Structure 1
Amino acid sequence: MVFQTIRKKQPLIHCITNYVVANFQANGLLAIGASPVMADDPQEVEEMVSIASALLVNIGTLTTRTKESMLLAGKKANALGIPVILDPVAAGATAYRKQTVLQLLDTIHFAVIRCNVGELAAIANVQWQQKGVDSGTGSISVEDKAKEIAKKYNCIVIVTGEKDFITDGNLAQWIVGGHTRMTEVTGTGCLLSAICCAAYIAGNEPFSQLCDTLTSYKKIAEHAHSAAQYNGDFAVAVLNELHRLSKDGDI
Structure 2
Amino acid sequence: MTLSDQTIWNDLEQIRSQAPLVQSITNFVVMNNTANALLALGASPAMVHSAEEVEEFVTIASALVVNIGTLDTNFVAGMKRAMPKAKSLGKPIVFDPVGVGATTYRNQVSRELLELASPTIIRGNASEIMALAGLNAQTKGVDSTHGSSAALDSARQLSQATGSVVVVSGASDYIVSGEQVAVIDNGHPMLTKVTGMGCTATALIAAFSAVNSDPFAAAVHGMAVMGIAGELAAQRSSGPGSLQLHFLDVLYQLPFRHISESLKLHFL
Superposition TM-score, scaled by structure 1 size:
0.95
Looking at structure 2, the residues matched to 190 and 139 of structure 1 have their Cα atoms a distance apart, in angstroms, of 16
Kindly indicate whether residue 267 of structure 2 is the aligned counterpart of residue 249 of structure 1.
no
Kindly indicate whether residue 17 of structure 2 is the aligned counterpart of residue 17 of structure 1.
no
> Which deviations, in whole Å up to 9, do the C-alpha atoms of 1:212-247 show, x marking residues without a partner?
3322221211111111112111011111111111xx
Aligned to 2:95: 86
- Counterpart mapping for 1:1-251 below 5 A: 1=9, 2-137=11-146, 141-245=150-254, 248-251=255-258
Instruction: Report % sequence identity.
Output: 39
> Which deviations, in whole Å up to 9, do the C-alpha atoms of 1:59-105 show, x marking residues without a partner?
00011110110010111111111111100000111110011111111
Looking at structure 2, the residues matched to 204 and 97 of structure 1 have their Cα atoms a distance apart, in angstroms, of 30
Q: In the superposition, relative to structure 1, how do residues 206 and 138 fare at CA in structure 2: closer, same or farther (>3 Å)?
A: closer
8 A contact 2:190–2:239 mirrored in 1: no
Give the 3-state SS of the residue equivalent to 1:201 in structure 2.
helix
> Which deviations, in whole Å up to 9, do the C-alpha atoms of 1:152-206 show, x marking residues without a partner?
1011000000110001112111111311111000011101101101111222433
Looking at structure 2, the residues matched to 250 and 216 of structure 1 have their Cα atoms a distance apart, in angstroms, of 13
Looking at structure 1, the residues matched to 164 and 137 of structure 2 have their Cα atoms a distance apart, in angstroms, of 23
User: How many residues of Structure 1 are paired with residues of Structure 2 in the alignment?
Assistant: 249
8 A contact 2:148–2:172 mirrored in 1: no
Aligned to 2:4: none
Looking at structure 1, the residues matched to 241 and 13 of structure 2 have their Cα atoms a distance apart, in angstroms, of 26
Looking at structure 2, the residues matched to 205 and 129 of structure 1 have their Cα atoms a distance apart, in angstroms, of 32
8 A contact 1:17–1:58 mirrored in 2: yes
8 A contact 2:191–2:197 mirrored in 1: yes
Alpha-carbon RMSD:
1.5
TM-aligned CA deviation for residue 141 of structure 1: 4.1
8 A contact 1:128–1:139 mirrored in 2: no
Looking at structure 1, the residues matched to 218 and 94 of structure 2 have their Cα atoms a distance apart, in angstroms, of 14
Any runs of at least 4 consecutive aligned residues in structure 1 with deviations exceeding 3 A, and if so which?
Answer: 137-141
TM-aligned CA deviation for residue 39 of structure 1: 1.1
Give the 3-state SS of the residue equivalent to 1:157 in structure 2.
strand
Looking at structure 1, the residues matched to 146 and 89 of structure 2 have their Cα atoms a distance apart, in angstroms, of 39
